[in-house]
Amino acid sequence: MEEFKQIHPKQLISDLIPIPVWKIHYSYYTARGNPKEADKYILDNKNAWDRIDDQFMRYIEEQNEKHPERKLSNVKILDSSLMGEVYLKLE
């Protein structure tokens, strides 16, 4: 990897970086007990279907620890799917 860090930009043939986007649709209850549904998005490998749900639940746990006054409870993943890829253009 050290060699790659040293290359000149003109040595890099690819000028687009594909970034897979996963959509998580979930339900939860707010701190006041109101039911809600929402979407979150994760940038991860397109073969990451087996870890997307765990990654999302860890995110919810971290957010609940950071913001106990806005804690989400009874979080359930209703759907998780690969939306496609976006491309980051190198200049």
pTM above 0.85, yes or no: no
72 lies in some domain: yes
| Confidence check: pLDDT of 91 > 80 | no
Cα 32 to Cα 59, 70, 73: the distances in Å are 21, 9, 10
32 lies in some domain: yes
Instruction: Give the total number of structural domains in the chain.
Output: 1
With bands split at pLDDT 50, 70 and 90, how would you rate the model's confidence at 69?
very high
Q: How many CB atoms lie within 10 A of CB 52?
A: 19
Question: Rg of the chain's alpha carbons, rounded to an integer?
Answer: 18
7 lies in some domain: no
* 88, 12 contact by CB (below 8 A): no
Full residue range of the structural domain in which residue 31 is found: 14-89
| 7-20 as b/e: b if 16+ CB within 10 A | eeeeeeeeeeeeeb
